[in-house]
Amino acid sequence: MLDLIKRNTPRIADQFILKTIGDDNGYDNYEIYAEDKKVVLAGNSPLSQAMAYYDYLGRFHGVVITNGDYDISTISSAPLPEEKITRTVKKKIRAMTSYESFSLSGNFRGFDRWEKEIDFMAMHGINRAFQPVGFDGVLFKTLTEIGMPENFCLEFSSGPAFLINQLTGNIAGTNSVNSKEYLERKITVGKLISDRERSLGIEPIFPAAIP
């Protein structure tokens, strides 16, 4: 969680203290208050601390982030709260993204852009996130491992603009990239995304088929 603060507001990162508290009858909760001339962000998990951080930025700096393409790195002051702020989030599952939203831009991002998107999700308290990045690479590996020709497997997977349509069963092999290296990079980025999400308390939701 401290790394999230450093990525987003590096000039004031040393002005925060992170503390862990218990949940509120099974619900996520957080507190914001001043201690030793610093701002305490207390939460029952890293995700709750991220929500506290965003709440603080909104109250004291007027920050409103509506998507993952943002820049708040110029913030250079950390005013101290005059009284304790507390909040309990009365919703246990908070999901984000879908096949449709992912197909618009998500399949074209590198990890640097995904890093900001994941921070955005954490600050908004999202704890479930659709994560199909790398699915085409996994599909290629699976098909080749069961003995299908490599050239066919490369052509079977649609390119980034059409991959989501293939995942929903509409098409196959449309504008294929035909590159093993490309698919390997997608798997690598997918692993980075999933690991980062889990580190912040966001559980990735992967595409799957239920027989």
3-state secondary structure of 165: helix
Say if residue 88 is in the same domain as residue 101: no
Does an H or E element contain 114, and which? helix 111-123
Boundary-marking domain end, from 92, 126, 151: 92
pLDDT in tens, 77-98: 999 999 999 999 999 999 998 8
pLDDT band at 211, cuts 50/70/90? very low
Say if residue 101 is in the same domain as residue 178: yes
Boundary-marking domain end, from 48, 72, 92: 92
Say if residue 137 is in the same domain as residue 68: no
Say if residue 87 is in the same domain as residue 111: no
Q: What is the pLDDT of residue 177?
A: 86
Residue that is written with structure tokens 């618009």 in the block: 104
* 88 domain residue, yes or no: yes
pTM higher than the cut 0.85: yes
Residues 6+ apart with CB under 8 A from 20: 42, 43, 44, 45
Say if residue 117 is in the same domain as residue 196: yes
How many domains does one find in the chain? 2
Q: State mean pLDDT over 39-55.
A: 98
Does an H or E element contain 120, and which? helix 111-123
Domain holding 159, by residue range, is 96-205
Distance of alpha carbon 52 from alpha carbon 58, whole angstroms: 10
Q: If you count them, how many residues does the chain have?
A: 211
Side chain identity at 174, as an amino acid letter?
Answer: T
* 166 domain residue, yes or no: yes
Say if residue 136 is in the same domain as residue 105: yes
